Structure 1
Amino acid sequence: MKHKTFIIGFLLMLCLAGCQSGQLQVVSLKVEMQENPQGVSTPSPRFSWQITSPGVDLRQQSYRIQVASSEEDLKKEKNLLWDSGIASGDESILIPYEGGKLSSGKAYYWRVKVATNQGETAWSAINHWSTALLDSTDWRAKWIGQDTMSNPGETNKGNTRLAARYLRKPFRAEKKVERAVLYISGLGAYEAYLNGKRVSDDVLAPTVSWYPEKVYYNVYDVTPLIGKGDNLLGVKLGNGRYFGMRESPTMIFGLPRLLAQLNIEYADGSTDTIVSDESWRG
Structure 2
Amino acid sequence: MTSFNWVGSQDDFVGQPDVLQLNHIVVGRYGGNSTAGQSKNEDGCLVWFSREEGWELAVVLDAHYSAESAGAVLELFGQEEVAIRRLLALPEVYDAFRGLEEKILDMFMSDEFLATCRKVKGETACLIAARKGRFVWWLSVGDCLLYLFHPELARMGQYQINQRQFYEWIGQVNTFAQEAPCYTIGTRELRKGENRLFLTTDGLVECPGAPFFDPVRIDQAFDGGVPAADAVHSILETIRQNGVRDSTTIITWDIKVTRDAAQPSDLHKR
Is the TM value for this pair above 0.5? no
Q: Give the TM-score of the pair, scaled to structure 2.
A: 0.27
Higher relative contact order, structure no. (Cα contacts within 8 Å, ≥ 6 residues apart): 2
Give the structure with higher Rg (CA): 1
